[in-house]
């Protein structure tokens, strides 16, 4: 089975969030299960710098008006295909924004070109390899099935995965003539969305199957509260909608081998975890190591409930806890957290920015990973927390609800609990969950049981990759039915 995966960020070449982790780890897990995967992504500056022995396979003289080529490189067992288009991707800033954090103005063209290249690979193959199926991730890959429907690859199945339905890739109608699509596609059953062009909507309309990254989120996006305007469309395609929970790369995230933490430890040899706890306290300038250390590794946004967090920051200190935050995002939230850290020196620490090694140390040295999201398609930091013994306190929504077992009486008695859930996302409900966590932390046996249970949980890709492989097989079988 030959599958082309298309995504705008793929770890370890480029990452801004969970999409990269998934778009990197899932193909690796599927390869291990015998699927012949190739992974297409844009050749941003950092990607080009990391490529090992790239081989040029195809040249485009006019890819939606720009010249480009596709380079192949195999790294860590994964076959990467990189769209090298300097006019689109060789520039300063991040994958989506410039150095001043404003969206690149030609994002529509940058990602339309990615999709046009993916469709061309599906149509003509590359290097004597033609995919049986294409797996497109999020809006940036959304036009892939739209282009494919217009040509020779119209019958090739496409799986469209929604990692966050809040990001839809919506642009003014003026871009439409430059996408190289027939006018008929600019319609309600195509990519037209309230007079605009929506990449995600187009992708969902044309995909053979839609998946999202947890069963609960799959249900939630069928409602107006979570569907962000696309709930009607999702309901219309409910018979092809699947919720498959994300796994994590258990090689990258393994406390027994992780080189980014202060000392390695494991379920059977947990003692050295304390060394990480001390290192974390030092890093954040905590005065002592008393009380639970609450950690947050997150985009600092409304979605992530960071405004609610800022409202309980003083309470965390009053309860005898510490708070360590790593993230960046909305200026107002950054300012509110900065103010909280200034109010409580030695007790609340804040690092604004993006720091992969520190994110590992925080999981290894924290006591609680706090995820108060208003909505969360899957969430990965709570899964890293489970694996590292950093007990999750999470909002009961999306993938958080699916992956954490609340320490209620029954689950605790059965020794099945792995963390704490709360709902709704309000300061009061969060405070109550924090109190429960502080109480459990004060009983070492109870806490050790929670940590053990989490560290034992299977958060690998094995099961979920198998589910994707089964879905691919089903779609290919349906396609070959007369
Ligand atoms: P989302 O993709 O919505 O941002 P996820 O929980 O799915 O949220 O994934 C976030 C990923 O990004 C995790 O791997 C997390 O560790 C990482 N991350 C988020 N913020 C930072 C940061 N400031 N520094 C380092 N890693 C971060």
Statement to judge: residues 438 and 401 lie in one domain: yes
Structural domain includes residue 262: no
Number of domains in the chain: 2
Residues spanned by the domain of 107: 2-247+462-480
Statement to judge: residues 406 and 318 lie in one domain: yes
> Torsion over CA of 410, 416, 422 and 423, rounded to 10 degrees?
-70
From 19, 298, 352, 384, mutation site for ligand 1 pocket: most ligand atoms within 8 A of C-beta: 298
Closest residue by Cα to residue 41 from 115, 139, 152? 115
- Phi, psi angles (nearest 5°) of residue 283: -55, -40
Closest residue by Cα to residue 457 from 218, 239, 171, 253? 253
Asked if 237 and 201 touch (Cβ cutoff 8 Å), the reply is no
CB atoms inside a 10 Å sphere around CB 470:
12
Statement to judge: residues 407 and 466 lie in one domain: no
Statement to judge: residues 397 and 474 lie in one domain: no
Atom 8 in ligand 1: which residue has the minimum CA distance?
A: 18
Statement to judge: residues 112 and 156 lie in one domain: yes
Structural domain includes residue 348: yes
Statement to judge: residues 53 and 182 lie in one domain: yes
Statement to judge: residues 310 and 197 lie in one domain: no
Residues framing ligand 1 (Cβ under 6 A):
17-19, 21, 164, 297-299, 326-328, 354-356, 359, 378-381
Token couple for 12: 């370890």
Statement to judge: residues 339 and 298 lie in one domain: yes
| CATH for 109 | 3.40.50.2000
Statement to judge: residues 298 and 201 lie in one domain: no
Rounded Cα gap, residues 348 and 358, in angstroms: 16
Token couple for 149: 């429907």
Token couple for 160: 């469209």
Statement to judge: residues 367 and 472 lie in one domain: no
Q: Position of tokens 């620490």?
A: 349
Using the mean position of ligand 1's atoms as its centre, give its distance from the Cα of residue 126 in Å.
33
Rounded Cα gap, residues 294 and 318, in angstroms: 13
Asked if 118 and 6 touch (Cβ cutoff 8 Å), the reply is yes
Taking phi over 0 as left and psi of -120 to 50 as alpha, with beta for the rest, 53 belongs to left
Beta bridge partners of 74: 79
Per-residue pLDDT tens digits of the chain, which is 482 residues long: 999 999 999 999 999 999 999 999 999 999 999 999 999 999 999 999 999 999 999 999 999 999 999 999 999 899 999 999 999 999 999 999 999 989 999 999 999 999 999 999 999 999 999 999 999 999 999 999 999 999 999 999 999 999 999 999 999 999 999 999 999 999 999 999 999 999 999 999 999 999 999 999 999 999 999 999 999 999 999 999 999 999 999 999 999 999 999 999 999 999 999 999 999 999 999 999 999 999 999 999 999 999 999 999 999 999 999 999 999 999 999 999 999 999 999 999 999 999 999 999 999 999 999 999 999 999 999 999 999 999 999 999 999 999 999 999 999 999 999 999 999 999 999 999 999 999 999 999 999 999 999 999 999 999 999 999 999 999 999 988 76
Read off the pTM.
0.96
């Amino acid at each position: 089975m030959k599958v082309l995966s298309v995504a705008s960020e793929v770890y370890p070449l480029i990452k801004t969030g969970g999409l990269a982790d998934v778009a990197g780890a899932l193909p690796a897990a599927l390869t291990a299960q015998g699927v012949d995967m190739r992974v297409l992504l844009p050749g941003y500056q950092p990607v080009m710098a990391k490529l090992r022995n790239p081989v040029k396979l195809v040249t485009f003289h006019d890819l939606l008006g720009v010249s480009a080529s596709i380079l192949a490189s195999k790294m860590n067992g994964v076959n990467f295909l990189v769209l090298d288009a300097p006019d689109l991707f060789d520039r300063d800033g991040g994958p989506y924004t410039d150095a001043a954090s404003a969206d690149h103005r030609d994002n529509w063209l940058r990602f339309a070109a990615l999709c046009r290249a993916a469709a061309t690979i599906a149509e003509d193959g590359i290097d004597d390899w033609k995919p049986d199926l294409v797996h497109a991730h999020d809006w940036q890959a959304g036009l892939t099935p739209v282009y494919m429907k217009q040509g020779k690859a119209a019958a090739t199945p496409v799986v469209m995965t929604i990692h966050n339905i809040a990001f839809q890739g919506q642009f003014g109608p003026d871009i439409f003539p430059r996408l190289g699509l027939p006018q008929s596609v600019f319609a309600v059953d195509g990519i037209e969305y309230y007079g605009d062009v929506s990449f995600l909507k187009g992708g969902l309309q044309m995909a053979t199957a839609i998946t999202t990254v947890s069963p609960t989120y799959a249900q939630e996006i069928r409602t107006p509260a979570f569907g962000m305007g696309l709930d009607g469309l999702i309901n219309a395609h409910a018979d092809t909608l699947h919720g498959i929970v994300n796994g994590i790369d258990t090689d990258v995230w393994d406390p027994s081998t992780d080189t980014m933490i202060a000392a390695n430890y494991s379920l059977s040899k947990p003692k050295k975890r304390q060394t990480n706890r001390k290192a974390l306290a030092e890093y954040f300038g905590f005065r002592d190591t008393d009380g639970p250390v609450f950690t947050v590794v997150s985009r600092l946004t409304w979605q992530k409930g960071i405004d609610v967090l800022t409202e309980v920051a003083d309470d965390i200190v009053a309860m005898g806890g510490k708070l360590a935050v790593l993230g960046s995002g909305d200026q107002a939230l950054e300012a509110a957290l900065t103010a909280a850290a200034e109010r409580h020196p030695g007790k609340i620490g804040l690092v604004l920015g993006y720091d992969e090694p520190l994110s590992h140390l925080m999981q290894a040295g924290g006591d609680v990973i706090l995820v108060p999201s208003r909505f969360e398609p899957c969430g990965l930091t709570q899964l890293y927390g489970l694996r590292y013994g950093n007990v999750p306190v999470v909002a009961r929504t999306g993938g958080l609800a699916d992956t954490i077992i609340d320490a209620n009486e029954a689950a605790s008695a059965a020794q099945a609990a792995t963390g704490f859930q709360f709902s709704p996302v309000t300061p009061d409900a969060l405070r109550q969950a924090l109190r429960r966590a502080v109480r459990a932390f004060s009983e070492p046996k109870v806490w050790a049981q929670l940590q053990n249970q989490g560290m034992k949980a299977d958060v690998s890709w094995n099961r979920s990759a198998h589910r994707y492989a089964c879905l691919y097989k089903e779609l290919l079988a349906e396609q070959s039915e007369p």
